[in-house]
Structure formats: structure tokens, C-alpha cells
Structure 1
Amino acid sequence: MHRFGVVAFLLFYLGASDGFAGGDAKAGAAVFKKCAACHTATEPAHRVGPTLMGVVGRPAGSLANYDYSDAMKAFGAEGKVWDEATLSEYLLSPKAMVRGTKMSFPGLKKPAEIADVIAYLRDPSAAR
């Protein structure tokens, strides 16, 4: 029930599919600084977390040269793909969506920040 409530809230707040098309990549680049200690978005190098370069549309837990947690591997084995809806739910509360993930980040609480980060991840060059 909790997952349904989170998704329903995001769809309502972001305006369903039209909201996912929104977001400001430039603002997302600023918000991404919260993620940059562990992730990159513009280069294929891993840090503590995997590179997020090209993450939008990528199957979860699928980079061959990164050691994902068992929880993330199982999540990916379920066929999950990092589309805008999945990213929106995950970025709100990573540990609630993928119990047992290694990611310690508590999540972004503002739907606008989530939409902005997704816009940035979709096209980092748009932030220039």
C-alpha cells in the first residue's frame, strides 16, 4: 500500500506523464551535487555508486563492471528499468523501494527536485 501511495502522490503532483517530461536540467545539475559524492552522470566512471551516465531507460542493476547489492540485482532481475516513473519513486526513498540496497542516501523530498534531477540525467548537456 505504501508504494501505491507514493506513486499516486507523484503522479498527482507531477501531473502524470506530462510531469515526467518536465523538469529543468540546469536546476537538476545543481540538485545532483547531493548525489555527486557517490555518482557521476557525465562520465562512465564508477565511484561508491555506479555511473548514472545513460541511466534513463537502462535496466536496473545491469552494468557488468559494477558490484551491485543483492537487493539491486534482484530488483533488476524482476525486469525493472530506470524510466521516469521508476526513478521518481526510487529517488523519493531508495531504501523503501529496494529494501537492502547499499545506497545510503535518504532520498529527495521535493517532487520538483526529483523531476529536475531526472531531466538532468536524461540529458546532462542540457544543463549547460
Structure 2
Amino acid sequence: MTNTKGGTDVTDGPLPLIVVDGANVVGSVPDGWWRDRRGAAERLRDRLAPLARSGVAGLPGPLELVLVVEGAARGVESVPGVRVEDAPGSGDDRIVDLAAAAGERPCLVVTADRELRRRVREHGAQVTGPRTVLG
């Protein structure tokens, strides 16, 4: 978390982890994403970048923000503030792995997928829906 001491931000401990289910969040808006899945993932990545600094869902920035992509969206480059991870198989499985690896640090998974929500909660992650990052 971030505290302010003498006007300087001081981070004590690891940053909260936000993991975004790219396919689920992109798919929540019927804007033609299916014609260009990679382009849709890039647009989502760019939309997420400011949240790494400003915070999201009651978690103040800075945050570690990870966008998990799969299938035709693989190959999207990371940008400052957003690490993009290609899921080698199922995006859901990669998201569960990230939530499990978070350990005691705060972890928030952004998805509307009910089964994925159940799985990450088993590892102590909190969940929220796509509107949290889409505004």
C-alpha cells in the first residue's frame, strides 16, 4: 500500500495485483471485437494503463496490473503500467495461477465468468466485473 511521508509516496510491501480476464472483459462490449481480437486487446490494454497509477475498485495506485490474453489476442505487447501475459492454454487457468501466486498480497480479478470467480476466490482473490475497468 502507499503512504505519504513528507510529501513523498512510500510503498511498503508488494503492490496490489489486479488481473484482468482479457477475453471476458473485451467480450462484454459488443463493439465488433470478434473481427480483430488482437486490436481489441490492445485497446483494452491502453484503457487499463492509467488505472495502474490512479487505482481501481477502492485500491489506490500504484498497482501491478496484468492483462491475460489468449487465442488470437496473443502477442499483444506490454506497455508501462500493464504487463500483458499470453496464456499458453486456457486464459482462466493462467488467471488462477496468478491469483494463487499472489499469496498474502491483495489480488483483484476482473471478470464476469462465474466459474473463474469461484476458482480465484479459493485462493483468496477478490473479484469484480468488467464495468470496474471499463467505466
Q: TM-score range by the shorter chain?
A: 0.3 to 0.5
More relative contact order, 1 or 2 (CA 8 Å, 6+ apart): 1
Q: Which has the higher helix share?
A: 1
Q: Which has the higher strand share?
A: 2
TM-score (structure 1 length as normaliser): 0.34
TM-score (structure 2 length as normaliser): 0.33
Based on CA coordinates, which of the two structures has the bigger radius of gyration? 2
